[in-house]
Amino acid sequence: MTTLTAAPMGKTPLKGEIAAPGDKSISHRSLMFGALAVGPTRITGLLEGEDVRATARAVAALGAGVERTGEGAWTVQGVGVGGLAEPESALDLGNSGTGARLLMGMVAGCPITATFIGDASLSRRPMSRVIEPLSRMGAVFHGREGGRLPITLTGPADVMPIDYRSPVASAQVKSAVLLAGLNAAGRTTVREPTASRDHTENMLRSFGAAVETRTEDGMNVVTVDGQPELAPQDIAVPGDPSSAAFAAVAALILPGSEVMIRNVGLNPLRAGLFEVLTAMGGEIEVLDRREAGGEPVGDLRVRGGALKGDVAPPANAAAMIDEYPILCVAAALAEGRTEMRGIKELRVKESDRIALMVNGLRAAGVEVEEHEDGMTVTGTGGRPPAGGCEIDASHDHRIAMSFLVLGLACAKPIAVTGAETIATSYPAFTDHFALLGADIQSR
């Protein structure tokens, strides 16, 4: 087990430039959709974190040809929609909810049997949210109580198209149903209460599928036409805004900092954090807006300075769902209260992120109130919180990185145990922070 310790920066600012690592959501999808196309899909800028590597192994076990041709460069030889082969052993998705749930959708669309396993965190997470709609489409599941991994799934001979109203705004649920629907004879529709990230829709369109998005009765509605032939693509994966968030917040809370983060994905359904931070008075400038892999990207110039507490609007929660832990850290240094509500989903992420942030912030000397659906943090107005605590990452990469960033702004160091989990999404995290002048090391 790795323990990392973040040494307080004192009055030293962060300076320098990094490039955001490849987007995790888009990396998973590049490998998966490449596997469903006919012919070779070439991917550059793929995030080579453990979650995505687990997906690469899984699509290979399902019959696709997967080859790493250079750093971040991968080629996938697809087998076509409906062409997946039965894997010989269990598919181990490690820590990855996205890998497990999207692949369940893909397998449910084919007449094969596969067993899904994962680490302690993934084995606690609810899979009933995908089991329910995929069962309606004809798939048969055997899992543990509450729909937990390990799960064995058999897809039907003919998968049925459905019209599914999802109780949660979840890109993973939406994508699982659409992926199973790809092999159905007919049209499959998913309705979600608010729009979740739309990388599946965007990328399926670029592979040639007919995907329609509309708003109906206030819901986001997506329909896919079944049984298309997907054409292989060249995909340049943009940088991950969820990873860029750590250096951005670190720069904001350390006065005098000036950090450039290049190649940050700015899809509006992902970039909610930057809006909230700007509303809090954070100086974030977007330079050179452009496109990569069909997604908007830009370079972020972030300067440190005073932040003011604010309300993170619940209506925007889906557009920053993975960023609440690091928003808590910005809130901890802001002047006044920051309210984060309407985020009950955080309790079923890689960990119960509400409980872990509340307990960890308190251990570091930050005042925070816990709600069933979120938290309210009272910031110090720039004064260093006490720090001097040890935080268990609890198999949650974003918890680990958030507390290390907080440690940089505290009076005494913060140590994070189980920090190896950072490699699931951001293997270069400590190197990038070292480049910016921060001291985060195992000691």
Q: Which residues bind ligand S3P (CB under 6 A)?
A: 25, 98, 170-172, 175, 196-197, 321-322, 345
Pick between residue 349 and residue 408 the one whose CB is nearest to ligand S3P.
349
Q: How far is the CB of 375 from ligand S3P (least distance, A)?
A: 17
Q: How far is the CB of 23 from ligand S3P (least distance, A)?
A: 9
Does residue 23 have an active-site annotation?
A: no
Among 119, 198, 310, 322, the active-site one is: 322
Pick between residue 257 and residue 394 the one whose CB is nearest to ligand S3P.
394
Q: How far is the CB of 297 from ligand S3P (least distance, A)?
A: 17
Per the structure block, which two tokens stand in for 369? 């109130």
Pick between residue 191 and residue 412 the one whose CB is nearest to ligand S3P.
191
Pick between residue 91 and residue 190 the one whose CB is nearest to ligand S3P.
190
Pick between residue 25 and residue 233 the one whose CB is nearest to ligand S3P.
25
Q: How far is the CB of 75 from ligand S3P (least distance, A)?
A: 22
Question: How far lies 260's CA from each of 111, 266, 293, 298, in Å?
Answer: 49, 15, 21, 11
Q: How far is the CB of 327 from ligand S3P (least distance, A)?
A: 14
Pick between residue 49 and residue 387 the one whose CB is nearest to ligand S3P.
49
Q: How far is the CB of 345 from ligand S3P (least distance, A)?
A: 6
Active site residues: 322
